[in-house]
Structure 1
Amino acid sequence: MPLTRTLFLPLRIISLFTLFFFAAGHIQAQQLAGDWEGKIGPYTSIIHMKWDSAQKRYTGTLDSPDQGGYGLPITDIILKQDSIVINADLIKGIALGVVTDQEKITGTWRQPSFNMDVTLNKTSGKTYRAYRPQHPLPPFPYRSQEVSYFSEDKQVRFGGTLTLPAQGNAFPAVILISGSGPQDRDGRIFDHKPFLVIADHLTRHGIAVLRVDDRGVRATKGDFANATSANFVKDVLAGVTYLKTRKEINPLKIGLIGHSEGGSIAPMVAAGNKEIAFIVLLAAPGITGKEILLTQNKAMFLSAGSDSLSVAVYMKLFERILDDCLQQSDSATASNITKQHLLEWQQSAPPEVVKQLGMQDAKAANTITAGLVKSFRQPWMQYFLTHDPAPPLTKVQCPVLAINGSKDLQVMAGPNLAAIKQALQQGGNKHFETMEMKGLNHLFQTANTGNLREYSTITETFSPQVLDIMTTWILKAVSH
């Protein structure tokens, strides 16, 4: 079940538009209070409903444990006669229908390309934790400290964890940089904690690691919604400044590890910056955000089983909307032009494809495209779509290790590694390696297909082979 933006982005798991429809019976106020659990496709989902007696209305939250999503806000829960409406704006989700009895809700879940029967059963509010054998458990053979520091302008207070080898000083250190979307210091996704696993492995081998909550997450303050990659560059630099104050850290051996969008931010920090000793790029973009979005959407739909004709027809509309949002100076104009292009597309596209995509209904189609326009016009997205990673990469002179997985459908290895290599060569960098790791997905899990549906079902959090490669490479890079 998709949790965030209305399109696929690096790292974040997203869908175009989500509708829930449930069917049947008669209920009264307060009877639905409690926890409701069911499967949305392969994902366990839990809706927590509470009755607010003062306001005479329901409130609630949504959990998707398989995707690592907990406490997602529900905007409205409306009970009217024998029907219920559940609206979750954050994930563009709407549940419509009625309850068969006080213990069960049945109905259908719809997306543009398919429908799915759904049953929610009232439960006792169980706590789910997926099996994640790589997650380290205390006691640790190293020091782990909660730390805090401020941005240069004192507007953002960061909270994170610094892990240090058990004894000694002047250690090499790395800062972990997360991919797109607000993430905590462990990089938690689908109940995996890849940054925790990476930090544990590196620190056991003599490398200090700083991992930090993103803006607006857990112990870090600040505004994430209106921030762009340019802001996140400043956040990383604040971390570098902090590490230089620690006597345990060698200030000449501070490097960066960036995943996905973080792999685009790391070169921006390191470009012309002699304070950065090395960078490791994991599933990093080498091409523009627009190119990534187009290639990943096409790959995702094909991997999900959509036929090539439907994908080609839809991608024509998708790119047209994307261009409309980039070319227009304001959202209102972009929205009006998008509606015009949607109508033209509906009239020219094969009717059977339009129907298969669920775009034949004018209201539904406009809702889908409106969601895309809203997402494409956000500050972060505008920056992402137009940012070219090549110019910063040409200015990076420190050692660089770039690794992508062969089954990564979000930031595909071939075009991105080739572009990274070309930019580094153009800039005259003599100390870099690019590697395509067979069988690994975007999260660096050993995967069958690389499809997003596998992320939560794979027990491996992060490839042990890549952990060893990074560790060996970093220790070699800082030994000179």
Structure 2
Amino acid sequence: MKKILFLFIFICAQAVIAQEKSYTIREININEGLTGDLYQTKNTETVILLIAGSGPTDRNGNSSLTQNNALKFLAEGLAADDYSIFSYDKRVVAMINQKIPFEENPDFNHMITDAQIVINYLKNTLHYKNVIIAGHSEGSLVGMVAGKTTGSAFISLAGAGNSIDAVLKEQLIKQAPFLSDDINNILKELKAGNKVEKVNPLLASLFSPQNQPFLIEWMQYTPTDEIKKLKIPVLIINGTKDLQVSTTEAELLHKALPSSELLLIADMNHVFKNIIKDADNMKSYNDINMPLHPDLVKGIVTFLRKHKL
């Protein structure tokens, strides 16, 4: 009996070890500004490219303000299902690490170019046949534009449907209605391509001189227009507890491209966490141990397998 029990424990231990070793993580330097992790599985045909959201966000989905491992956990979850993953630090992260002055901050179009460089590297250097582009938040628009001719499928993770000026207008006025005139005037000028010299001190951080060129370029793109250009399978995902991008934005994208698939995940927030108590929503942005919502990886894998990817 003891021998049988020992054998059972040994088999279980070996199964756990095998599961842990279903993928390896290899850091890759594409160029001096682009470094990321390849979660390499036995699947040598398909790779999923994760593009991070707003701000100086790294390959794990973290920044100096938030530490939640959203992209790290997503990469691990998908790799466990035998999908190779590549997630990279945004160029601004390298600039911070190398102490490059922020007056040289890359513009929005540079982020699109960077994503295209990564896609080409995955296809031409690592020789993946299928590159699935999954962009989170701001990265959704970046991925739409960057991969419209080279991606095999596109996944929008909490991506906006409206242009960023409309999104900012709604968010900022909701938070500070007493600044509505200032907000409207600034956004109107930036949308027209004009820099704004005099900014209310309460809005100075967001609309700083360094940020304005970036915002001007970003405002020239409308996600509902860009998604129409995609001729590949598209999955649009949003959580019902997302405080930053509402499900209405996902529905706008789906309406713009009716052939897309829409997945609204109950109780998932902007950083892919399962929120039962509303009080835990913001706390989850700085909880590196809180796991992903269980339906996220499941939904992505179901979509990819449906399309034989």
Shorter chain as denominator, the TM-score bin is 0.7 to 0.9
Q: Does the CA-based 8 Å contact 1:296-1:412 persist in structure 2?
A: no
The 5 Å alignment of 1:91-170 reads: 140-150=21-31, 156-165=32-41, 167=42, 170=44
The 5 Å alignment of 1:326-345 reads: 326-327=191-192, 329-332=194-197, 335=198
State the one-letter code of the partner of 2:131. I
Q: Do structure 1's residue 258 and structure 2's residue 258 form an aligned pair?
A: no
- 2:180 aligned to which of 289, 309, 315: 315
Q: Distance in 2 between matches of 1:149 and 1:398?
A: 26
Q: Do structure 1's residue 439 and structure 2's residue 267 form an aligned pair?
A: yes
Q: Does the CA-based 8 Å contact 1:187-1:194 persist in structure 2?
A: yes
Residue of structure 1 equivalent to 2:252:
419
Q: Deviations over 1:56-81 (max 9, x none)?
A: xxxxxxxxxxxxxxxxxxxxxxxxxx
- 1:467 aligned to which of 284, 292, 297: 297
Q: How much has 1:298 moved relative to structure 2?
A: 4.4
Q: How much has 1:436 moved relative to structure 2?
A: 1.8
Q: How much has 1:376 moved relative to structure 2?
A: 8.5
TM-score (ref. length: structure 1)? 0.53
Q: Distance in 2 between matches of 1:261 and 1:381?
A: 12
Q: Do structure 1's residue 179 and structure 2's residue 56 form an aligned pair?
A: no
RCO higher in structure (CA 8 A, sep ≥6): 2
State the one-letter code of the partner of 2:71. F
Q: How much has 1:393 moved relative to structure 2?
A: 0.9
State the one-letter code of the partner of 2:121. Y
Residue of structure 2 equivalent to 1:243:
122
Residue of structure 2 equivalent to 1:456:
286
Q: Give the paired residue count.
A: 284
Q: Distance in 1 between matches of 2:308 and 2:147?
A: 15
Q: Does the CA-based 8 Å contact 2:131-2:153 persist in structure 1?
A: yes
Q: How much has 1:139 moved relative to structure 2?
A: 5.4
Q: Does the CA-based 8 Å contact 1:405-1:437 persist in structure 2?
A: yes
Greater percentage in helix: 2
3-state secondary structure, aligned to 1:185: coil
Give the unaligned 5+ runs of structure 1: 1-137, 151-155, 302-310, 339-365
Q: Do structure 1's residue 228 and structure 2's residue 107 form an aligned pair?
A: yes
- 2:241 aligned to which of 407, 413, 417: 407
Residue of structure 1 equivalent to 2:4:
none
Q: Distance in 1 between matches of 2:92 and 2:182?
A: 34
Q: Does the CA-based 8 Å contact 2:68-2:288 persist in structure 1?
A: no
Q: Distance in 1 between matches of 2:132 and 2:193?
A: 39
Residue of structure 2 equivalent to 1:293:
168
3-state secondary structure, aligned to 2:269: coil
Q: 1:232 to 1:324 in 2, by over 3 A?
A: closer
3-state secondary structure, aligned to 1:436: strand
Q: Distance in 2 between matches of 1:280 and 1:149?
A: 23
Q: How much has 1:292 moved relative to structure 2?
A: 0.7
Q: How much has 1:235 moved relative to structure 2?
A: 1.0
Q: How much has 1:319 moved relative to structure 2?
A: 2.1
Q: How much has 1:245 moved relative to structure 2?
A: 3.6
Greater percentage in strand: 1
3-state secondary structure, aligned to 1:374: coil
Q: Distance in 1 between matches of 2:121 and 2:143?
A: 17
Q: 1:298 to 1:457 in 2, by over 3 A?
A: farther
3-state secondary structure, aligned to 1:206: coil
CA RMSD of aligned residues (A): 2.9
The 5 Å alignment of 1:6-21 reads: none
Q: How much has 1:321 moved relative to structure 2?
A: 3.4
State the one-letter code of the partner of 2:122. L
Q: Does the CA-based 8 Å contact 2:131-2:151 persist in structure 1?
A: yes
Q: How much has 1:280 moved relative to structure 2?
A: 0.8
State the one-letter code of the partner of 2:79. T
Q: Distance in 1 between matches of 2:291 and 2:212?
A: 31
TM-score (ref. length: structure 2)? 0.80
Q: How much has 1:399 moved relative to structure 2?
A: 0.4
Q: How much has 1:197 moved relative to structure 2?
A: 0.9
Q: Which runs of 4+ in 1 moved over 4 A?
A: 218-225, 324-328, 369-373
Q: How much has 1:285 moved relative to structure 2?
A: 1.1
Give the structure with higher Rg (CA). Answer: 1
Q: Does the CA-based 8 Å contact 1:216-1:223 persist in structure 2?
A: no
